[in-house]
């Protein structure tokens, strides 16, 4: 019997990559890979030292897990990795995001039962002009 759910997830990921994504560069140290990522966001709450709850929002990037290959090996996201997103009407800027732990809930999570797509949590840490 065919795995209809698996086929549907693969089809949806193909549609996401083709129509709902932007090319980004995923970096860890000196290694990088260009891949299709769908920008998104996640709202979360953080309690400060005095117990006050602050609502915050993280930038998320949804990527195909099998596209995350560094140094010839498939990897999982790690805190401190960087994601570089071209920005501006003509790509004159690059927004730099750093993978971060989301208030103790982890720095990424699977988007589907098989983990074919990953939702990576990040925070913008820099903006660069493209020469």
Give the C-alpha distances (Å, rounded to integers) separating 49 from 46, 52, 54, 72, 107: 10, 7, 11, 43, 22
Are the C-beta atoms of 99 and 78 separated by less than 8 Å? yes
DSSP at 66: G
User: What is d(CA 83, CA 40) in angstroms, rounded to the nearest whole number?
Assistant: 13
pLDDT digits (tens, 9 = 90+) for 63-113: 999 999 999 999 999 999 999 999 877 778 999 999 998 877 789 999 888
Instruction: Supply the pTM of this predicted model.
Output: 0.85
User: What is d(CA 110, CA 128) in angstroms, rounded to the nearest whole number?
Assistant: 30
Q: Is 80 left (phi over 0), alpha (psi -120 to 50) or beta?
A: left
Query: Which of helix, strand or coil describes residue 9?
Result: helix
Instruction: Count Cβ atoms below 10 Å from residue 72 Cβ, excluding itself.
Output: 6
pLDDT digits (tens, 9 = 90+) for 20-74: 889 999 999 999 999 999 999 888 777 777 878 877 778 999 999 999 999 999 9
């Amino acid at each position: 019997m065919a795995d209809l759910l698996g086929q549907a997830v693969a089809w949806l990921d193909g549609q996401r990559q083709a129509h709902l994504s932007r090319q980004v560069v995923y970096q860890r140290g000196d290694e990088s890979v260009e891949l299709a990522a769908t920008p998104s966001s996640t709202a979360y709450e953080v309690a400060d030292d005095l117990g006050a709850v602050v609502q915050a929002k993280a930038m998320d990037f949804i990527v195909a897990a099998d596209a995350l290959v560094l140094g010839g090996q498939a990897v999982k996201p790690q805190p401190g990795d960087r994601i570089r997103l071209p920005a501006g009407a003509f790509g004159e800027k690059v927004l730099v995001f750093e993978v971060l732990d989301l208030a103790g809930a982890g720095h990424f999570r699977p988007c589907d039962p098989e983990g074919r797509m990953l939702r990576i949590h990040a925070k913008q840490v820099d903006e660069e002009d493209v020469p």
